[in-house]
Amino acid sequence: MSIQAKICGLRTAEAVQAAVKGGASHVGFVFYPPSPRHLTPEAAADLVARLPREVVPVALTVDAGDAAIEAILKAVPIRLLQAHGKESPARVAELKRRFGLPVMKAVGIAGPADVNLAHEYETVADLLLLDAKAPKKGLPGGNGLAFDWGLIAHERWARPWFLAGGLTPGNVVEAIRTSGARAVDVSSGVESAPGVKDLDLIAAFLAATASV
């Protein structure tokens, strides 16, 4: 079984092309103004139009209201919602009902209690994203931080899940082997500066995941 890979925080056609060429299964677009990776729905729509059908476009939002999500979906043919804030299980279930799309819930991991929290979303989310817990004053994701992959090495999950947090071309193979992940997510680990994707790093990351 091959490893799926999601390249998140894409902002240019060149970066999208690099992700597609390298074999990414998912590409993520950030709709969160404080992030250096933020895009408008109109800009994202142009990038999604370049995707082949087999690559899944993902909308990352952070505690977004219904009106904001509706504006994104009106402009962009998104196929997966990524809830990357403090959305409760009830809110995740509501997002699925209201918008009729699968939802991936991100959960920050720093210790066993966070792993237990992630399990609470298994009955409502379609997928989980196990990410490093964000610093209190930092962005909710894309901080280049990793967590102890051993915390989830022996967990059994009722839903498919992606591993995220501090992944790079240099450590992703170790991360996969330690955690047991079958899907990975990267953003800052393939950047030359915050929000600036490095095409060579994207290629190297995807080549590394394909080698497992």
Q: Give pLDDT, residue 138.
A: 63
Over the range 15-51, which residues count as b (16 or more CB within 10 Å of their CB) and which as e? bbbbbbebbbbbbbbbbbeebebbbebeebbebbeeb
Give the CATH fold of the 4-210 domain: TIM Barrel (3.20.20)
pLDDT band for position 92 (cuts 50, 70, 90): very high
Closest CA to 82 of 35, 2, 141: 141
Instruction: Provide the 10 A C-beta neighbour count for residue 12.
Output: 13
Q: What region, left, alpha or beta, does residue 128 occupy, with left being phi > 0 and alpha being psi -120 to 50 degrees?
A: beta
- Catalytic site residues? 8, 131
Average pLDDT value for the chain: 95
Distance of CA 172 to the CA centre of its chain: 15
Those residues whose C-beta lies under 8 Å from the C-beta of residue 157, and which sit 6 or more positions away, are 119, 122, 128
For 139-159, the pLDDT digits (tens) are 666 667 789 999 999 999 999
Average pLDDT over residues 184-200: 97
Strand partners, 127: 104
Which region among 27-41, 65-79, 130-144, 186-200 has the lowest average model confidence (pLDDT)? 130-144
Residue 135 has pLDDT above 80, yes or no: no
Percent of the chain with pLDDT over 90: 91
Distance, in Å, from the CA atom of 131 to the CA atom of 30, rounded to the nearest integer, reads 16
Average pLDDT over residues 94-102: 98
